[in-house]
Amino acid sequence: MKRELLLITGPGGDAQGWGNMAVTENLNDTVNALGVKCSIAYVNNRKEFDEVMDKSSCDMVWSSLYYLSEKEDIVGVPDDAEWVSDLLDARNIPYIGSSAKTMKNLILKFVTHEIMEKAGVKVPFHVLVNPGSPIPENIPFPAFVKPDGESRSVGISDRSVVKNHEELAAQVARVHQELSQGALIEEYLPGDEYTVLMLGNGEHQEILPGKVTVDETHYGQYRILRSDLRGVGLTKVSIPEEHFDEAVELTRKATAALECMDHVRADMRVGSDGKLRIIEVNGIPGLKPVKSWSPQIFSLYHPQPTPEADYREMIHTILVSAFARIGKPL
Ligand SMILES: Nc1ncnc2c1ncn2[C@@H]1O[C@H](COP(=O)(O)OP(=O)(O)OP(=O)(O)O)[C@@H](O)[C@H]1O
Ligand SMILES: [Mg+2]
């Protein structure tokens, strides 16, 4: 019998999830081409979500939204957030991607770090300073300051790297004021940057590392992926010549500790001791054909005759694994 998948997106689909409506439409075409009956539900709010779900007969949902909210851009987790995975759990409808618990753990980087650290995964030194709380004295410099719950390098610039307490206090205050959320202080990781794709689960799982580079002329003071370098075609991904096994092992351990499923991407950098540390795990990675890092990495390892075929193959891998997990194999 033909399986049925429902793609959910909404105003926050780009900021929170895999990309804008064009990305969702492309994904819809791809899934249909793979022989799974697919459709899109664009929902603005809880009422529209409920109306769609009351009528739907899908076997599984795939959501570009972590949560429904009046806010289009993620600014931490808004007070009015209603988690899509919670709403689907309540209806007993399976979904592609990690569980509600894991999704919530992934969206706040401090929580992610704490879980990984407990499981023995290498993470940077980290301290969370919420608005109104004092900054601890014991911070090692240089440090890196970023918002606790953003993506796409929102809130990240050369000013994120701080060399003394004064710069630290100024950057923490900026995160509090401009993004209304906790400021995460980490040790500055000066080395190369990697992003590792995790696809599928158990016997279907693949862990594929990529090294991320930007032409040196585009960096400012620091070799960091500032917000203006993201999403504009300036980053390149290649198969790493160094740290390959280390990146695979780190991702395997991290995704196991966090109980990730189907498709996540772990970002990491080399610290001053020459070892990789995970800086975050993205729960709903970008799915823009050719441009997003996941399809780019997949293409490096599984080149097909065309980019469209690469993309289709990657989506197929995710679908096979997710449908197998719910006992409805493709
Ligand atoms: N501790 C650190 N030391 C050095 N650079 C860092 C550190 N943390 C983050 N960066 C730089 O800032 C970039 C964005 O950080 P991070 O991946 O945590 O945020 P993001 O905005 O959630 O990204 P994504 O879009 O991948 O979800 C990283 O890709 C890296 O270049
Ligand atoms: Mg990142």
List pLDDT tens digits, range 27-80: 999 999 999 999 999 999 999 999 999 999 999 999 999 999 887 776 678 888
The residue nearest atom 28 of ligand 1, judged by CA position, is 225
Q: Could you check whether 106-121+190-305+317-325 and 126-187 share the same CATH topology?
A: no
pLDDT tens for residues 222-254?
A: 999 988 888 788 899 999 999 999 999 999 999
Which superfamily does CATH assign the domain made up of 106-121+190-305+317-325 to?
Answer: ATP-grasp fold, B domain (3.30.470.20)
pLDDT tens for residues 241-294?
A: 999 999 999 999 999 999 999 999 999 999 999 999 999 999 999 999 999 999
CB under 6 Å to ligand 1: residues? 124, 144, 146, 150-154, 156, 186, 188-189, 193, 224-225, 267, 269, 279-280, 282
Please give the pLDDT value at position 74.
62
Domain range annotation of the chain: 4-95, 106-121+190-305+317-325, 126-187
What is the average pLDDT across 136-164?
Answer: 94
Question: pTM of the entire structure?
Answer: 0.96
Indicate left, alpha or beta for 202 from its phi (over 0: left) and psi (-120 to 50: alpha): left
Please give the pLDDT value at position 232.
83
Is 147 in a helix, a strand, or coil? strand
What CATH class has 126-187?
alpha beta
